[in-house]
């Protein structure tokens, strides 16, 4: 794995890796370092930026991301169906965004703040109709 990259301007970026190939630290060309932490399953659980900004992630037993929290304690939560599809995102202020899927696992609608955007598909699984939150439709061929 690369430990450094130098671009055409001579700026250098440096990386440090774990023995498992996980990025542990990245130093940008300005000298700012971002550090990464992982749990025993290899999932990223923390990101620490030099400016004092950190984010923390937690996972359920299925390995799905269930929350991300910043240093101020603001948390975004994620919910999943039994099939493993992301069904809801809850913002720090409690606003909920939901996603509905068809029996093939394709997202068919996203609802946020009482407004819904929906998608229709052809037999090949390509989006053919997109209806936005104000009811306007776009058709794709």
pLDDT in tens, 80-128: 999 999 999 999 999 999 999 999 999 999 999 999 999 999 999 999 9
pLDDT > 90? residue 141: no
Give yes or no: residues 7 and 66 share one domain. Answer: yes
**Residues 4 and 46 reside in one and the same domain:** yes
Both 46 and 64 in one domain: the answer is: yes
Domain that includes residue 64, residue range: 1-73
Express each pLDDT in 55-75 by its tens digit: 999 999 999 999 999 989 999
Residue-averaged pLDDT of the chain: 95
**For residue 140, what pLDDT is reported?**
94
Query: Phi first, then psi: what are they for 113, rounded to 5°?
Result: 60, 30
Instruction: Looking at the structure, tell me whether residues 55 and 97 fall in a common domain.
Output: no
Q: Do 62 and 89 sit in the same domain of this protein?
A: no
Residue 97 and residue 68 in one domain: no
Please identify, among 73, 97, 115, the residue that sits at the C-terminal boundary of a domain: 73
Confidence of residue 41 (pLDDT cuts 50, 70, 90): very high
Of 63, 90, 95, the residue nearest 79 (C-alpha): 90
Model pTM score: 0.80
Is residue 35 a contact partner of residue 25, using CB atoms and an 8 Å limit? yes
**Domain's final residue, options 17, 43, 73:** 73
pLDDT at 51: 84
CB under 8 Å to 73, separation ≥6 — which residues? none
């Amino acid at each position: 794995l690369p430990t450094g990259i130098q671009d055409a301007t001579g700026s250098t970026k440096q990386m440090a890796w774990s023995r498992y190939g996980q990025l542990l630290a990245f130093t940008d060309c300005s000298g700012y370092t971002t550090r990464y932490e992982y749990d025993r399953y290899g999932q990223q659980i923390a990101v620490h930026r030099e400016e004092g900004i950190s984010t923390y992630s937690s996972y359920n037993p299925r390995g799905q991301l269930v929350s991300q929290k910043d240093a101020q304690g603001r948390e975004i939560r994620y919910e999943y169906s039994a099939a493993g599809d992301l069904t809801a995102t809850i913002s720090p202020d409690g606003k909920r965004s939901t996603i509905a899927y068809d029996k093939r696992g394709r997202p068919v609608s996203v609802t946020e703040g009482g407004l819904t955007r929906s998608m229709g598909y052809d037999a090949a699984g390509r989006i053919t109709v997109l209806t936005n939150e104000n009811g306007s439709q776009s058709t794709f061929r």
